[in-house]
Amino acid sequence: MPPKPRRIRVDGTELVVLTKAAYESLDGQRRQAGAQGARVRALRGQLDQLNAFVDRLEKAAARLPGCPPELIAEFANRPGRDGDRGA
């Protein structure tokens, strides 16, 4: 377990003192977290587009003559339908 960082008070504000290596490591982790957040947002956008496409497929399939009701039921019960983001 790494040692606890030192704390100092400057002009009434508590500050944490880090070594240069610890600061650089923390800064790198912050950048990685930011990049990961950007990737998650991009994937969420792609998933939303895919869900919209499947919604259009469901509507088109329902209009086809002879489309089995079981197929429509599968569409209707899929995860992510109607904005459900799988909380």
Residue with tokens 């490591």: 25
Residue-wise pLDDT tens digits, 29-75: 999 999 999 999 999 999 999 989 988 988 888 888 888 888 888 87
- For the record, the structure tokens of 67 come out as 């489309």
Write the burial class of residue 33 (CB in 10 Å: 0-12 exposed, 13-18 middle, 19+ buried).
Answer: exposed
- 42 three-state secondary structure: helix
pTM for the model stands at: 0.59
CB atoms within 10 A of CB 71: 13
